Amino acid sequence: MNVLEVFKRKSTIVTLLTIVITAIITLQNLSLDTYMIRDVEVSFYNNYLIFKQSFFSLIHNENLYARHLDVHVDFYKYSPTFALLFGVFVFIPTWLGLFLWNLLNALVFYAIWRLDLAGNKNKFWIWLFMIVEFVTNIQSSQSNGLMAGLMVLSFVFLERKNMALATLMIVLSMYIKIFGVVAFALFLFYPDKIKAIGYAVLWTVILFALPLMVVSPDELIQQYQNWWVLLKADKPVDFSLSIMGWLKYWFGLVPSGGMLTALGVALFLVPFTQIKKYSNPVFRQLVLASVLMWVVLFNHKAESPTFIIAIAGVSIWYFAQPKNNFNLVLLVGTVLFTQLAPTDLYPSSIRSTYFIPHVIKVVPIILVWLKVLYDPTFTVKELED
């Protein structure tokens, strides 16, 4: 295969485009002036600085979950294990570390391309559909593209009967953001559940113990206690882009978080009643899509960069099954009101008056998720023996 033939491959083109876009956004963030929040100077890659500082806080036995206003704004909210693993970025120049970190979030594209979604011909369209949310994520140097990629890769490895790597992907995601645990629901579709539990316990212990390379057991336990204190004090954000925010700002309803989550779990489990359809790969892909949307819709801290996870779910839902006009309308609505609503495509007066206070960004995802629940339950057929 010559060089020209390689560049004609869509996978090569979208990979190069992703690298170029990541480089542009990284340079933009590095070149922009800082701004002020609560009399503190903030950079446009504040999250990267939070992650970087967490490594030094860990190895110096400082409270990971305290403010470090001399370096960044906001709190570190991930595990001690993630702080240690982020060490791979801290001893290289900031410009290179930020670029590689942003590029790591492109794992979501790689993972979805590993799915069998009507062949390779949809790779470019999947990439094009998701690229806006990918940019939104890396503009804030967030970890959500990585999270989505790990959850989808877990499914890929399950389909390939590689239980060890499937469980590793989910446990890794849990040590970044706890809601990765929801992906364990996918294991109900596969045999070797005892083996899966064994691997999950093994990876959990190994990743928990990793920071012991730089801290003592007592110091590690103290960090987890500090983390728990922070999580208990965590409050929903104003205009949270979740079902909680939608209920509040559309209907004036403020249900308890526990009650709303319980309702969400009940709805999420509806497709799991279709036991005879478990052997259908489209059914399993649709449930994966539901997982990716659920962890955003029922996350009381969901914000715009989080939506790369939900959009990954929407892309899987749409490309996993035959096209129809109703699904197309939902897809277009997602582009117009989820992906483009925060952009300058709409006048700022419309965004500030309608889109932001009415959490419009989350509405199409709610509608698609309800359709995702319907499709595997009523549309997808059982496979013939």
pLDDT tens track for 263-318? 999 999 999 999 999 999 999 999 999 999 999 999 988 899 999 999 999 999 99
Q: Is the pLDDT of residue 10 over 80?
A: no
Looking at the chain, the whole-number percentage of residues with pLDDT higher than 70 is 91
Q: Quote the pLDDT of residue 116.
A: 82
d(CA 145, CA 147): 5
The CA-atom distances, in angstroms, between 306 and each of 12, 84, 134, 258, 277 are: 27, 23, 10, 21, 31
Q: Who has greater pLDDT, 31 or 234?
A: 31
- Kindly indicate the confidence band of residue 37, based on its pLDDT and cuts at 50, 70 and 90: low
Residue 237 is predicted with a pLDDT of 56
* Beta-bridge mates of residue 42: 35
pLDDT of residue 19: 96
Count the Cβ atoms, other than its own, within 10 Å of residue 43: 19
Q: What is the pLDDT of residue 342?
A: 85
Quote the CA–CA distance of 155 and 169 in Å, as a whole number: 9
Mean pLDDT of 320-345: 92
Greater confidence (261 vs 9) lies with: 261
Give the whole-angstrom CA distance, residue 258 versus residue 329: 33
* Model pLDDT, residue 227: 93
Return the higher-pLDDT residue of 268 and 124: 268
User: Given the structure tokens 């890659």, which residue do they identify?
Assistant: 45
DSSP 9: S
Q: How confident is the model at residue 33 (pLDDT cuts 50, 70, 90)?
A: low
- Gap between the Cα atoms of 42 and 126, Å rounded: 34
- 46-80 residue pLDDT tens: 899 999 999 999 999 999 998 877 666 678 999 99
pLDDT at 232: 83
Mean pLDDT, rounded, for 84-105? 96
204 pLDDT higher than 60? yes
Flag whether pLDDT at 323 surpasses 90. no
Alpha-carbon gap, residue 271 to 374, rounded angstroms: 8
Identity of the amino acid at 214 = V
SS3 47: helix
> Please, are residues 181 and 144 in contact by the beta-carbon 8 Å criterion?
no
Closest CA to 219 of 96, 58, 333: 58
Measured CA to CA, the distance from residue 130 to residue 339 in angstroms comes to 9
* Dihedral Cα 317, 321, 325, 329, nearest 10 deg: 10
Position 3 pLDDT exceeds 70 = no
User: What pLDDT does 4 receive?
Assistant: 47
**What token pair was written down for 3?**
């060089």
pTM reported for the whole predicted model: 0.93
The model's confidence at residue 121, banded by pLDDT at 50, 70 and 90, is low
Alpha-carbon 291 to chain mean position:
11
8 pLDDT above the threshold of 70: no
pLDDT over 90 percentage in the chain: 71
